Copies of this chain bind each other. A is one copy, B any other.
Amino acid sequence: MNTLEKIQKNLANFSKSERKVAEVILANPQTAIQSSIATLAKMADVSEPTVNRFCRRLDTKGFPDFKLHLAQSLANGTPYVSRHVEVNDSADAYSNKIFESSMAALDSARQSIDPQQINRAVDMLTQADQISFFGLGASAAVAHDALNKFFRFNVPVVCFDDVLMMRMSCINAREGAVVVLFSHTGRTKTLVDIARLAKENHAQVIAVTSKDSPLSKEATLAVTMDVPEDTDLYMPMASRLAQMVAVDVLATGFTLRRGPRFRENLKRVKEALKESRFEKPQPL
Contacts and interface: CB of A to CB of B under 8 A. Distances in A.
Interface of A: 33-34, 64-65, 67-69, 71-77, 85, 87, 89-92, 94-96, 98-100, 102-103, 106-107, 109-111, 113, 115-116, 118-119, 122, 137-138, 140-142, 144-145, 148-149, 161, 185, 187-190, 192, 214, 233-236, 240-241, 244-245, 247-249, 251-253, 255-256, 260, 263, 266-267, 270, 273, 276-280
A36 to B, nearest CB: 9
B144 A140 contact: yes
Given A233-B266, A233-B270, A235-B252, 12 more contacts: A64-B67, A71-B75, A85-B256, A87-B260, A94-B253, A95-B118, A99-B109, A102-B248, A185-B277, A188-B277, A192-B278, A240-B244
Contacts of A109: 99
Given A115-B91, A145-B138, A103 B107 contact: yes
A33 B67 CA distance: 11
Contacts of A273: 137
- The complex is assembled from copies of this chain, and their number is 2
B236 A248 contact: yes
A37 to B, nearest CB: 11
17 contacts: A72-B72, A76-B107, A87-B256, A89-B256, A94-B252, A99-B113, A140-B148, A141-B141, A141-B144, A141-B148, A141-B244, A144-B144, A187-B278, A187-B279, A192-B278, A234-B263, A241-B245
Nearest to A267: B233
A76 to B, nearest CB: 6
A209 B260 CA distance: 32
A122 B92 CA distance: 13
Nearest to A143: B141
A121 to B, nearest CB: 9
B149 A236 contact: yes
Given A185-B277, A192-B278, A276-B190, A100 B110 contact: yes
Contacts of A115: 90-92, 95
A149 B65 CA distance: 43
Contact of A248 (B73, B98, B145, B248): B98
Contacts of A87: 256, 260
Contacts of A233: 255, 263, 266-267, 270
Given A233-B263, A241-B241, A278-B189, A253 B91 contact: yes
B249 A68 contact: no
Contacts of A100: 110
A145 B141 contact: yes
B99 A187 contact: no
A188 B118 CA distance: 34
